[in-house]
Amino acid sequence: MLSGYAKTEWMTIIVIGLLLCAASLLIGLWWLSIPIVLLVIALVLFFRDPDRRVPTQRGVMVAPADGRISSIHEVERFEPFDEPATCIRIFLSVLDVHVNRSPVHGVVESITHTPGKHLNALNPQSAEDNESNLIVLVHPIRRKPVAALRQVAGLLARTIVCRTHEGMVLQRGQRLGIIKLGSTAEVYIPESMNPTVQVNQGDYVWGGQTILAHVVSNDRPVPEEAMATQKQPAEPQSSEAATPAKPQAEANSAASASD
C-alpha cells in the first residue's frame, strides 16, 4: 500500500515511467524499459505505507516512525511541557518507511512549524538546525502533556506533511503525516509520566509497533478497587447478637421436661 500523503509524488513517478517506457519502445530501444521500470519501483517504494499491529496494553508509548535509534537523552527543561523530558531520536534512512504515527493516545494541543536548514540527517546538528514540525499531545481528560512528536526534515526530505489540527484526537499508532525521503523523528516524554525506556541506542524500531517506553502518570486517579481496600472494616457483631435463637420445637420440649 502506498501513502496517500504522497499521492502526487508517486503518481507522477509512475506516469513519467510509463511515458519513458513507451518512448523507448517506439524508438526501438525496448531494453531501456527494464532499468526504467526498476527505477520507478525503487522510487515508489519510498512512499510505501504498510499496516502495523499496534500494541493494545495500557501505559506504553510506541515508535512514531521506522528507523534506527540515534540518541536517547534527557532534556533539563522542555519548554512545551514546562518540565524535564526524555528524548528518543529516530533516524530514517531513504530505505525506511517515512509515514509518521502518533506515539500515544492524546489530543493535539499545538502544532508549531519552525523553518530551518536542510542538513544531512546523519549530522547530529541537523536535529537542532533543520526545518521541523512539533506536535504536542495532551491527555484527553486531564489536559496534561503526555508526549510530543517532532518531525525533522533532512538533506533530501524537504517536505514535511502533517495532516492533523489542534483539538484532533489521535489514537496510539494512528497515521498523522509523512517526512518525504531521509529524515529524523523525535519523541519527547514528560518526566511526570515516569518513562521507563525499553529501547537502546542503535536499535531498529518499527513505527506504530515497537514499544519505546512504559509510562505511568503521577496524577492518575486511584482505582475504585484500591479505594475499597482502604475503607475501615465494619464493627464486629456482639456474641449475643451472633448467637442464633433456639428452634421453637426445642424450647417446647425443654418446658415439658421441667414440668
Q: Which of 3, 102, 183, 192 is catalytic?
A: 183
3-state secondary structure 201-236: CCCEECCCCCEEEECCCCCCCCCHHHHHHCCCCCCC
Report the distance separating Cα 157 and Cα 191, nearest Å. 31
DSSP 256: H
DSSP 157: -
User: Edge-to-edge, what's the strand order for the sheet holding 99-101?
Assistant: 99-101, 175-179, 160-162
215: Cβ–Cβ under 8 A, 6 or more apart, which residues? Answer: 59, 60, 61, 104, 146, 189, 193, 194, 195, 196
Does 183 qualify as catalytic in the annotation? Answer: yes
57: Cβ–Cβ under 8 A, 6 or more apart, which residues? Answer: none
The candidate with the shortest Cα–Cα distance to 152, out of 137, 130, 175, is: 130
DSSP 244: P
CB 33, CB 18: distance < 8 Å: no
CB 204, CB 70: distance < 8 Å: no
Give the residue numbers annotated as catalytic, written as ranges: 183
